[in-house]
Structure 1
């Protein structure tokens, strides 16, 4: 009798199903892997995130072997095929026979035993005939980006129109890399943190364009690094937003959409007090836990609040790290590319305008409003700031002098970090001064 599917593969399929039902990828994985030990959970994460990352490529391959195309398949069956294909293509530690047989058992466990022969046949054919064909990048760059590049067609089209085919392809390739581990030390210099980590036999590297960040190469884990130095896990793009904000030393600051809290803690290095607001009590607990872990529980306080109706008095500076499509973080959140749609740009722009209006009302005359996103899309970035300034007198863009490398600023002085150029997450920020 064949063995049933492993617990890790069952959890992977559960995470995929939760995602189809509307759960964010990281939350779906968290719920599906509860109670699993660390190594098993890491294997499941590699399988789930890797499948999300290469879903467009995998779907193109599967579609060539499915008689009626993958659009005709039940959701569980298609997800089993995607997970099996990723194991065959990318997980060298998994023997091909195990990838196939475990996928057959997994589709049976999912209540779709009628498709076991189909799953077996498609994956066996993939293994026997691995010379897959993809659209030519020169003749059809959009289809190449959609399939080999594994990005939705609508994004491929807009990125090629904006940057050209070569840079759009570089962006897709950057998104398809596994994210690296970075930390941002708190209350100590990166040099001192590096030395302290070295004493604990943990390697750490400076990041030339992000002076507040350290790269932690494998095999060290985030938990190991955070046990040695006070820090938060944070991509250099996010650390650059805090650096660019350059809030007044000793001032009162509000972080209006704060969870998970890395930027709020970064602001706390200069600010006197930071009010970290977020609509989600669950996510706000992470802010409080991080603040207490680094000993800043009194400096950074959490407030459950809707950023559109903030319960605060005017302060010296406000950071609005606005909800967005997250197109700059597809390497870190690979499910995001399959979750967002063109309609999201319109709905999020309306929300971003509402939040900007509310945030502006919290800034004292002469104070600062810093608007940021992890999006690459002009509708969420430059166009929002252009509209804000067109609708309001008494505000101006005021980039901080000499704080970030000039190559990271656009002609208007706004921060623009791009994955295909800097090799980290994407980020945008505009530092606005309310004229006294």
Structure 2
């Protein structure tokens, strides 16, 4: 088809179809090409209005949350199993998740996906969808984790973790705010689980919330706020390594530190600079590869929130459940080992080093700490104290912190993290 003809076909789409087409592109990018959902958004949703862009993301994300269960439903209604990458399977996933989860009327859910299989098995898609809806098909609660993920996490953490993870994936996480000044909380409905924290009762457009324009707070999951909290207040020099998108930099600056924030991604640092401007906080911002960059002098505090598989943030980024493979986990662990060793050289004697990853993989947490300590006798764990954590969260016996999906589940949960605080011996 010529480019002009393709454009005319796209322009002829009925209302709602371009949004579902974008959702299809998002799912294809994640499941077939291994891209992150957010990474694929701009290309997949090009030309969509903001509301339609948000709906495309919601359809794709909810499909990824419930993919094993959606596929089980589809397979129960077909004589021959559709290939995993068949467009008919993708269209059925999108139609079913709308009708069974997002509350879209059945006629609208199917009408807006049939054009996605033009030239393909439209009758099959329509027939399978109709059969399932008429039979009163439902998706199980809580959702089912992908087999490969469940096997890997069960081997590391056991039955309870799997149950907690399945409950956690059922709904998007709450919106957490970190306050610039803990004594100046915005007048927003919510609850505080730690000093300087607010978990909102309802989500809304972030820029329109009270205190945003004045820079009184920034969005940051409660778990993600803990590494910088463990450094505490100070007036010395601090390095925030792998700093983007910047929540930890803002925390350190608000606590009095002179911060140098380093990240390899110039585009992600743009968001950090915007937040510094909005909050009135200051930091030196450096775009550099940490394997090549080094500070002019050691710092009093170093925070390394290392690159990782990001499996701990599966609640808000369900694509990680489907695109993260053991090979990526091993690759990230190798990089973390190198960065951990480099960061140690940049800590003054008597200074503090905090290592963290938003991962649920022991290779990217416990194993990293053990390897580091074996090769760095000049560092020792400075135990995380219960009073430094939300009530109900406890450190491990060695003083490090492992946050699993069951943490604070009754209060909305937390992302998965591994965090260790170390002191360089004088």
Q: TM-score, normalised by structure 2?
A: 0.88
Matching of residue 239 in structure 1 with residue 225 in structure 2: yes
Matching of residue 101 in structure 1 with residue 126 in structure 2: no
Matching of residue 125 in structure 1 with residue 131 in structure 2: yes
Q: Is the 8 A contact 2:161 2:405 kept in 1?
A: no
Partner of 1:428: 418
Cα distance in 2 for partners of 1:336, 1:291 equals 29
Number of residues paired by the alignment? Answer: 405
Distance 1:2 1:270, change over 3 A: closer
Q: What's the RMSD between the two structures over aligned residues?
A: 2.3
Distance 1:266 1:76, change over 3 A: farther
For residues 374-421 of structure 1, what are the alpha-carbon distances to aligned partners after superposition, in whole Å with 9 as ceiling and x for unaligned? 112211111110110011211100135543358431111112222212
User: Which one is further off, 302-311 or 220-229?
Assistant: 220-229
1:286 to 271, 275, 288: 271
Matching of residue 174 in structure 1 with residue 131 in structure 2: no
Partner of 1:300: 283
After TM superposition, the structure 1 = structure 2 runs for residues 105-116 of structure 1, keeping only pairs within 5 Å, are: 105-108=115-118, 113-116=119-122
Structure 1's unaligned 5+ residue stretches are 135-146
SS at match of 1:328: helix
Deviation of the 1:114 alpha carbon:
1.9
Distance 1:403 1:74, change over 3 A: closer
Partner of 1:157: 151
Q: Is the 8 A contact 1:328 1:375 kept in 2?
A: yes
Partner of 1:143: none
SS at match of 1:419: coil
After TM superposition, the structure 1 = structure 2 runs for residues 16-415 of structure 1, keeping only pairs within 5 Å, are: 16-19=27-30, 20-70=32-82, 72=83, 74-92=85-103, 94-108=104-118, 113-131=119-137, 149-186=143-180, 188-189=181-182, 191-193=183-185, 197-198=186-187, 202-207=188-193, 210-218=194-202, 220-225=204-209, 226-227=212-213, 229-246=215-232, 249-296=234-281, 299-313=282-296, 314-399=298-383, 402-404=387-389, 407-415=393-401
Partner of 2:3: none
Cα distance in 1 for partners of 2:68, 2:137 equals 17
Q: TM-score, normalised by structure 1?
A: 0.86
Cα distance in 1 for partners of 2:207, 2:337 equals 38
Cα distance in 2 for partners of 1:173, 1:324 equals 23
Structure 2's unaligned 5+ residue stretches are 1-11
Deviation of the 1:249 alpha carbon:
0.4
Cα distance in 1 for partners of 2:86, 2:25 equals 12
Partner of 1:142: none
Cα distance in 2 for partners of 1:2, 1:387 equals 56
SS at match of 2:259: strand
Cα distance in 2 for partners of 1:115, 1:160 equals 39
Cα distance in 2 for partners of 1:98, 1:205 equals 38
Distance 1:425 1:388, change over 3 A: same
Distance 1:239 1:219, change over 3 A: closer
Q: Is the 8 A contact 1:327 1:377 kept in 2?
A: yes
Q: Is the 8 A contact 2:65 2:143 kept in 1?
A: no
SS at match of 1:179: coil
